[in-house]
Amino acid sequence: MAPFNIAETEPARVCVGIATRGRPDQLAAMLDNLAGQTLPPQAIIVCCSGPEDVGAVAARGDVTVVYEQPGLARQRNGILRALPEGTDFVVFFDDDFYPDSRWIETVSRAFRTEPDLACITGHVLADGILGPGLTREAALACIAAHDPAADDWVIEGYSPYGCNMAFRCETIAGLRFDERLVLYGWLEDRDFGTRVAQRGGRLIKLGTATGVHLGVKGGRVSGRKLGYSQVMNPVYMHRKSTMTTAQLIRQIARNVASNLVKSARPEPYVDRRGRLVGNLIAALDLLRLRLTPERAASL
């Protein structure tokens, strides 16, 4: 990308949005780490369901807390509604994502250098969601040991990953996350990104915007609920044209096969059997011609 000196122009107006539930200590630790960004955000908006979700964070002067009913899509929409007027770029971080200190500056530079960019997803160096989870210390050590310049690459057409994604506000004007994709969401980021792309927006993954996702297990939904969404949500997205047939088959086959194979000896941190039951309930609903992604909330 072309050289860019953030000091040579007016700083970008960036807002960070964090949807959280039931993890006030984790949220506070993440915000403490976020304070080290070389380009501080103009605003930080935390969306939760009640005061117990944020604890002492509610008293911080650098954070705006807004409230919505539980649900990742619903809470992210609450953040979009609360964006300060004139915001250039909105960044969504999970409450357990630790970005490199130059993440916001790097992404802002890319947006300003390439005006056709609509969405940028960062490069996750390590993802605790794939295992038992990572500690804060492990995340910081991983970031410190990595040289972002070693990953000076771009992947075009990359579907956004919700733990660290950013959007140019003018390209998502009027768009909202689909609130029928309830609870943890499951592919709500991909659905939103596809609709941005359908508007003609350019989506990329940026190798120099690095960070670590802790994958904290507390506060996540039950295996049965998630398993239902693993099958129902891709079919729903296919129906609304935000997922191709090939993607649909690949997505469902991979998740169901993984749950089936690992149910005999499940990982201690994953409810494989619950997920498999949820997969089967969704399949039965589809056989009955019920396209009901929101049913996951009641299982």
Q: Is residue 230 part of a domain?
A: yes
Average pLDDT of the chain to the nearest whole number: 95
Asked whether the predicted pLDDT for residue 82 surpasses 80, the reply is yes
One domain, residues 205 and 227? no
Instruction: Please answer whether residues 94 and 162 qualify as being in contact, where contact means their C-beta atoms are separated by less than 8 angstroms.
Output: yes
Residue 12 belongs to domain with CATH number: 3.90.550.10
Q: Residue 100 class from Cβ within 10 Å (0-12 exposed, 13-18 middle, 19+ buried)? A: buried
Among 103, 107, 40, 50, which residue's Cα sits nearest to residue 75? Answer: 50
112-129: pLDDT as tens digits:
999 999 999 999 999 999
d(CA 28, CA 24): 6
pLDDT at site 220: 66
Residues 194 and 168 in one domain: yes
Out of 180, 213, 246, pick the residue that ends a domain.
213
DSSP structure string for 92-140: EE-TTEEE-TTHHHHHHHHHHH-TTEEEEEEEEEEEGGGSS---HHHHH
Lowest mean pLDDT among 26-40, 190-204, 216-230: 216-230
**pLDDT at residue 266 tops 60:** yes
Give pTM, 2 decimals. Answer: 0.93
Which pLDDT tens digit goes with each residue over 128-141?
A: 999 999 999 999 99
Q: Which domain holds residue 277?
A: 223-298
